[in-house]
């Protein structure tokens, strides 16, 4: 348990890498030279351009400052305001989407070193995700092994949209390394944009379509992870769907279970119903809460999920997902608030118990 | 429960299945390597006729990609949605505790003992030389 029974564990905040200049000191000599001589500038994700409204709540935005770069503002606007005893940092930056896997791996490594030094060392309430690129899974596994000795890193972080579906065995070195160290694998909204976010039917015309399509990506990845056998191969692994929304999950569970009844012979390594696997081993952060906040509807949603263990408190700071001071959507019943804010995160991230 | 003589045993050879109507109910009798099993001929999902499905073994795997097939001929797959049922028990493979097909005891009786009773074939003559399928229902 946490020290304060009313405090929360925020499972998704976003410290922003100010730019490559901030990372270059954490790169090896070759890559320092590459970044300087090639004048490679910012590598912000196209999924979260700093200027779009979603990337920062208006009352948290500072003129001329990239959202999320200030630890002081993070303390004041999030950690203190939400009463966080712990918050998990998920830096979103270009290493995970770089066309060059080698460059991507170096940017991810530098991002992890930067996070440990500039944020985790400076603020004891913070924990980190190990950011890895999916371009070169063996390099990602090496980075997981390197970071795992620092117990403040509590999960491995991937983006939702990659070069292939995440269940493919190409990615299994990442899962093997994560399982070895008892780290859940977080999958965060955002994509490498190798494929249309629409689910492959063609490129959408607007940001709105692009962001709303994120749900399809998560559904496809979850299906792939189960059916390709990742859950069977790595029985100790938990997945956290971050900024994935929640309202689509009950129907997804229902359909994947139903289809499995008829086509199980294709995937005989899936021994348990997908519904059971998802309820046992997949977690979802609560922001954005993409459905009605009416308490009756929220209760129905929880009933349809079929488990009270699956939801994790998150603010998604500084992204603009809610207004006011409380990231917990208003419709949640009192009995679940403590569970979502403390119990479920502590169970999901075993390392939090070691460091509380 | 009453015993019903439904037909000649030789009419349902090894690996075959045959549908009988017993007290108005469709019953499918399977012969699995000489053992007989009787199930209600109705999938618990949406009532498709199970007798129209494929008879198969069961595919299992301890690891992705390493598949074994076993128990050849012991499963029936619903013709509509492919749900797999264990012919020996009527249980579904996916959810054996909750989804199953009603099973009935079936046995073989020699014609000689049937002629003497206590059972009676309702719709066809019984000869002393043959063996018959008897379903309890």
Of A228, A232, A264, which has the smallest distance from its Cβ to B93's Cβ? Answer: A264
* Segments of chain A scoring below 70 in pLDDT: 1, 356
Phi, psi dihedral angles at B13 (to 5 degrees): -75, 170
pLDDT, residue A77, reads 97
Provide the b/e sequence for A76-90 (b: ≥16 CB within 10 Å). Answer: ebbbeebebbbbbbb
Structure tokens, A35: 């970044």
Chain B residues near residue A261 by CB distance under 8 angstroms: 45, 81-83, 92, 94-95
Residue A281 to residue A343: CA distance in whole angstroms: 15
Residue A1 resides in a domain: no
Instruction: Give the DSSP letter of residue B46.
Output: T
Q: Is B3 exposed, middle or buried (0-12, 13-18, 19+ CB in 10 A)?
A: middle
**Bond before A107 cis per omega within 30 degrees:** no
* Residue B120 pLDDT class (50, 70, 90 cuts): low
Interface of B with A (CB under 8 A): 45, 59-67, 78, 81-84, 92-95
Structure tokens, A44: 């912000």
Of A232, A263, A273, which has the smallest distance from its Cβ to B64's Cβ? Answer: A232
Residue A139 resides in a domain: yes
Task: Give me the mean pLDDT over the B80-87 stretch.
Answer: 97
Q: Which helix (H) or strand (E) holds B113?
A: helix B111-116
Give pLDDT tens digits for A165-183.
999 999 999 999 999 999 9
Give residue limits of the domains in chain B: 3-136
Residue A321 resides in a domain: yes
Is there a contact between A262 and B83 if contact means CB atoms under 8 Å apart?
yes
Is there a contact between B59 and A228 if contact means CB atoms under 8 Å apart?
no
Question: Which residues 6+ apart lie within 8 Å of A268 measured at CB?
Answer: B59, B60, B61, B67
Task: Give me the mean pLDDT over the B1-21 stretch.
Answer: 93
CB B99 within 8 A of CB B92: yes
Report the domain count for chain A: 1
Residue A285 resides in a domain: yes
**Which among B117, B110, B134 is positioned nearest to B27, based on CA atoms?**
B134
Residue A3 resides in a domain: no
pLDDT, residue A236, reads 96
> Could you give the count of Cα atoms lying within 13 Å of A175 in the half-sphere of its Cβ?
22
CB A288 within 8 A of CB A321: yes
Q: Which helix (H) or strand (E) holds B116?
A: helix B111-116
**Is 0.80 surpassed by the pTM of this model?**
yes
Phi, psi dihedral angles at A123 (to 5 degrees): -140, 110
Is there a contact between B64 and A269 if contact means CB atoms under 8 Å apart?
yes
pLDDT, residue A208, reads 87
pLDDT, residue A1, reads 60
Of A233, A261, A264, which has the smallest distance from its Cβ to B64's Cβ? Answer: A233
Q: What is the CATH number of the domain that holds A267?
A: 3.20.20.140
Determine the residue among B64, B69, B81, B84 to mutate to test chain A binding: the one whose Cβ has the most chain A Cβ atoms within 10 Å: B64
Give pLDDT tens digits for A266-310.
999 999 999 999 999 999 999 999 988 899 999 999 999 999 999
Residue A40 resides in a domain: yes
Q: Is B36 exposed, middle or buried (0-12, 13-18, 19+ CB in 10 A)?
A: middle
Q: Please determine, looking at this structure, whether the domain spanning B3-136 carries the CATH number 1.10.3720.10.
A: no
Which range marks the domain in which residue A241 is found?
8-355
Q: How far apart are the first and last CA of chain B?
A: 5
Scanning every residue of chain B, which has its alpha carbon at the shortest distance from the alpha carbon of A234? B63
């Amino acid at each position: 348990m946490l020290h304060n029974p009313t405090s929360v564990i925020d499972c998704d905040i976003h410290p922003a890498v100010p730019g490559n200049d901030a990372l270059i000191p954490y790169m090896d000599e070759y890559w320092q030279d590459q970044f300087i001589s090639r004048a490679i500038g910012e590598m912000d994700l196209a999924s979260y351009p700093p200027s779009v409204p979603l990337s920062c709540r208006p009352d948290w935005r500072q003129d001329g400052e990239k959202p999320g770069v200030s630890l002081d503002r993070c303390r004041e606007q999030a950690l203190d305001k939400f009463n966080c005893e712990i918050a998990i940092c998920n830096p979103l930056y270009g290493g995970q989407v770089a066309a060059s896997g080698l460059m991507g791996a170096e940017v991810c490594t530098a991002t992890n070193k930067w996070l440990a030094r500039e944020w985790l060392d400076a603020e004891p309430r913070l924990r980190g995700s190990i950011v890895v690129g999916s371009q070169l899974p063996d390099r990602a596994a090496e980075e997981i092994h390197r970071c795992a000795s620092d117990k403040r890193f509590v999960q491995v972080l991937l983006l939702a949209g990659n070069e292939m579906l995440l269940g493919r065995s190409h990615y299994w070195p990442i899962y093997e390394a994560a399982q070895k160290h008892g780290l859940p694998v977080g999958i965060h909204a955002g994509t490498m944009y190798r494929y249309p976010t629409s689910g492959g039917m063609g490129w959408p015309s607007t940001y709105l379509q692009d962001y709303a399509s994120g749900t399809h990506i998560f559904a496809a990845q979850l299906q792939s992870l189960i059916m390709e056998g990742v859950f069977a191969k790595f029985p100790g692994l938990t997945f956290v769907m971050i900024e994935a929304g929640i309202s689509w999950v009950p129907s997804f569970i229902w359909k994947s279970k139903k289809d499995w009844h008829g086509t199980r012979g294709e995937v005989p390594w899936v021994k348990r119903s997908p519904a059971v696997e998802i309820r046992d081993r997949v977690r979802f952060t609560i922001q954005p809460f993409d459905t009605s906040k009416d308490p009756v509807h929220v209760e129905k949603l929880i009933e349809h999920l079929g488990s009270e263990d699956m939801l994790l408190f998150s603010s998604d700071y500084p992204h603009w997902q809610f207004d006011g001071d409380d990231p917990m959507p208003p419709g949640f019943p009192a009995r679940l608030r403590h569970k979502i804010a403390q119990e479920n995160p502590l169970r999901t991230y075993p390392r939090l118990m070691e460091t509380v | 429960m009453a015993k019903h003589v439904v037909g000649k045993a030789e009419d349902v050879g090894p690996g075959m299945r045959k549908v009988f109507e017993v007290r108005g109910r469709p019953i499918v009798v399977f012969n699995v390597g000489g053992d007989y099993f009787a199930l209600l001929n109705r999938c618990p999902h949406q009532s498709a006729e199970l007798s129209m499905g494929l008879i198969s073994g069961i595919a299992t795997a301890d690891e992705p990609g390493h598949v074994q097939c076993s128990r050849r001929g012991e499963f029936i797959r619903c013709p509509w949605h492919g749900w797999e049922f264990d012919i020996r028990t009527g249980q579904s493979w996916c959810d054996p505790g909750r989804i199953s097909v009603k099973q009935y005891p079936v046995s073989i009786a020699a014609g000689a003992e049937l002629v003497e009773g206590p059972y009676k074939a309702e719709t066809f003559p019984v000869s002393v030389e043959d063996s018959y399928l008897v379903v309890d229902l």
